A and B are shown apart, each in its own frame.
Chain A
C-alpha cells in the first residue's frame, strides 16, 4: 500500500505536468546580491549593530586578549558553572575558572548551568546571525548544547564574518551533512499582541565575543 501511494502520487504529478506546463524552461535569474561591498571594519560594525538590535550583547577584543576578555565577562556576569563545547580551544579560556566539558554533562546539567561557550562556523553581518555547525569536536556543540542553557557565549572570529546571506551559504555548502543552526539573537516570540519577548524556550541571553 505504501508503494502504491508513492506510485500514484508520482503518476498524478507527471500527468498534471504533462497537461499544465506552459512555455520553455528558463534558467533561474540569480542576479541578486551575492557578496557585499563593505570593508572589514564596516562589516564588523554592522554585525555589532544588528546583534544589539536583537538584544544580544557584544564585546570586541583582539585575538591575544580573548581569554582575559572571557574571564572579565564571566566575572562581571557572575557565571560560575560554565560548560565548554567539545573541541573549543582551551587556550582561549581564562585561568582561574573551572570549565566542565560537553562530553561529561547531562541534559539536567545544561538546564542548570550558568552558561555554555562555543565558537561558530560563520557569521552574517546583514542579519546579525551566527551559524553553528554541529560536527564532532568542532567547538560548536551538539544541538541541545546551545539550547537548554539560559546563556550562550559565542566566540566569532573576524575572518568568519561575511556580509550577506549568500556568502554564508557558499561557505556552508561543503558541510551539509552536519546539522546546522542559524542563531539570530536570543529566542523570542511576539505571539501575544506583537510584543517581542526574549527567551521563550532557548537561551534568554546571547553573548557574542567578536575577535579582531
Chain B
C-alpha cells in the first residue's frame, strides 16, 4: 500500500517553498485580500448565532462519536446506500481509488467526465490518472477550472484560485477558451465559464464528485456548493461517482442540522450557501441511473490510531483556519506543497503520509491559536502541531538541534547550571555586540538578525540583582 497526498512527498520543505512566494507581491496581495474578506464575513455571521459555541461542541462530539464507531457507521452507510440503489467501493490508497474510478468510467465507454470540486480527488491525483487512462476530466467549479486551465495547483481548500486576481484569470481564459476579446470584470469571466461548461454538463455522461457528508442512517450523501455546477453534475450525467474519505460519514440525517449551520458560516461567511443537495442512491426519472461511492482510507486509519492527533479527522474542510492563519496569510497555500494547505494541512498532510514526508509542516506555525479559535469542530490544531513535532523529533534521532536542546534542558534542570550558563553567555557575547545590540549572528540564528536586532544580554541577571538586594537588607 502506498499512501499519497498529491505531490506532497516530493515537495520542498516549507521554509524553502515559502521563499519565492514571499517575493511575489501580487500573490501576497491577492491572498491577503481574499482571506481578509472571508475572515470578516465569517466573524459577522458566526457572531449572529447565540448558540455558536453549543453548535461547535455538538459538532465536535458528533465527530468523536463517529470515529469511535467508524467501522459500524461505514457499514451502516454502505448497507443503506446499496438498499437505495447505490454501489459502494472501498479503496485502501490513492492508486486503488483512482483505478476504481477509471474502471467505472471505462465501463460506461466514456472518454470525458465532469467534476465537482473535490479535494479528495486532488489528494489521490485522480486527474492525472484519468488522463493517463485516456479520460479527460473537466473541472466545473470556477476556481478549479481556473486552476486546471492555468496548469496550476489549488492553494486553498475552499477557494482554490484565491491567489489569482481578475486579470490573471482573464489571461488564462483568453488563451484556453479562445476568447481574445474577453473582459476582466468578474461578471465577464463568470459568464465565460457558464457558457463554456453548460455544453459539457448536457453532453458528458459521467460525473465525479466528492462528499461533504455521508449519512449512515439513510445512506444519503450531502454536497454543499454555491455555483450550481454541483447540481448540474449530480443531476444530468447518467453515471455519478463520489469519492469520499472514510471520515466523512456522520451518524444521521438529523446531524446535518448542526453541520449545515457551521459549515457555510465558517467557509464563506454566508448564513447558508446557495445550494445543498442531499440524495440517496438512485431515483427513477430524476438524476443519474448509476451512483457509486468510493470510500477512501489513504492513511486515515493510521491517524485514527494516534489518540492525541485523531481529532484531525473531525475536519469538515471549511478552510476557516486557513483564512485566520497569519502564516498562510503571508505565503498562501503553495508553500505547504500539499492538497491541504494552512493549519489543517500542516497536521493532516504529514499524518496521512505516516510522518514519512512533509515533516517541516508541523513547524510552519507560530502556534498563535487563531485556527483553533475559529474551527467549527474544535480541532485543537496547536496541540496536534506540538504533538506531531514530538513525533518528528523522535524520528530525527540525535541531530545537531537535538543535542543542543538536550544540553539546554540539562542547563535548565538546575539553577546553578543556569546561572553559570548566563554568565558564560554574557561574557562570551562580546564579539557580536556593538552599543548594547547584536546586529548579526552566525549559524541557525542568522535568520533572526537578518531583519531584527537583538538586545545584548545585560551584565546583571535578575537573580544576581535579587541576591544582592537580599544581602543588602
Contacts and interface: CB of A to CB of B under 8 A. Distances in A.
A16 interface: yes
Interface residues of B, number: 95
Contact of A184 (B58, B91, B229, B270): B270
B287 A179 contact: yes
Contact of A169 (B65, B67, B96, B254): B254
B246 interface: yes
Nearest to B50: A33
Contact of B169 (A12, A169, A192, A197): A192
Contacts of A202: 227-228, 231-232, 274-275
Contacts of B50: 33
A135 to B, nearest CB: 9
Given A25-B68, A165-B257, A192-B142, A143 B277 contact: yes
A185 B274 contact: yes
B82 interface: no
Interface string A1-38: 01001101110111111011110011111111100000
Contacts of B49: 33
B75 interface: yes
Interface stretch (A68-76, A112-120, A124-132): A124-132
B190 interface: yes
A129 B272 contact: yes
B275 A13 contact: no
A180 B279 contact: yes
A181 B305 contact: no
Given A32-B54, A143-B287, A147-B231, A13 B92 contact: no
Given A20-B310, A181-B277, A194-B38, A13 B304 contact: yes
B118 interface: no
Given A32-B258, A129-B272, A177-B84, A201 B228 contact: yes
A9 B92 contact: yes
A17 B70 contact: yes
Contacts of A19: 305, 307
Given A26-B61, A179-B286, A187-B228, A201 B198 contact: yes
A13 B159 CA distance: 32
A201 B227 contact: yes
Contacts of A173: 253-254
Contacts of B260: 165, 182
Nearest to B56: A32
25 contacts: A13-B71, A27-B61, A28-B62, A29-B57, A33-B51, A127-B272, A128-B272, A143-B235, A169-B253, A169-B257, A177-B84, A179-B278, A181-B277, A182-B272, A182-B275, A182-B276, A182-B278, A191-B141, A192-B164, A193-B166, A194-B159, A200-B190, A201-B194, A201-B198, A201-B231
Closest A-B pairs by Cβ, 6 of them: A202-B228, A201-B228, A16-B305, A187-B228, A12-B301, A127-B272
Interface of A: 2, 5-6, 8-10, 12-17, 19-22, 25-33, 50, 54, 107, 111, 124, 126-129, 134, 136, 142-144, 147, 165-166, 168-170, 172-173, 176-195, 197, 199-203
Interface of B: 30, 33-34, 37-38, 49-51, 54-55, 57-58, 61-62, 65, 67-71, 74-75, 84, 89-92, 96, 140-143, 146, 159, 161-162, 164-166, 169, 186-187, 189-190, 193-194, 197-198, 201-202, 215, 218, 220, 226-229, 231-232, 234-236, 246, 253-254, 256-258, 260-261, 268, 270-280, 283, 285-287, 295, 297, 301-302, 304-307, 310
Given A25-B68, A194-B162, 7 more contacts: A12-B304, A22-B307, A31-B51, A144-B286, A169-B254, A199-B194, A201-B228
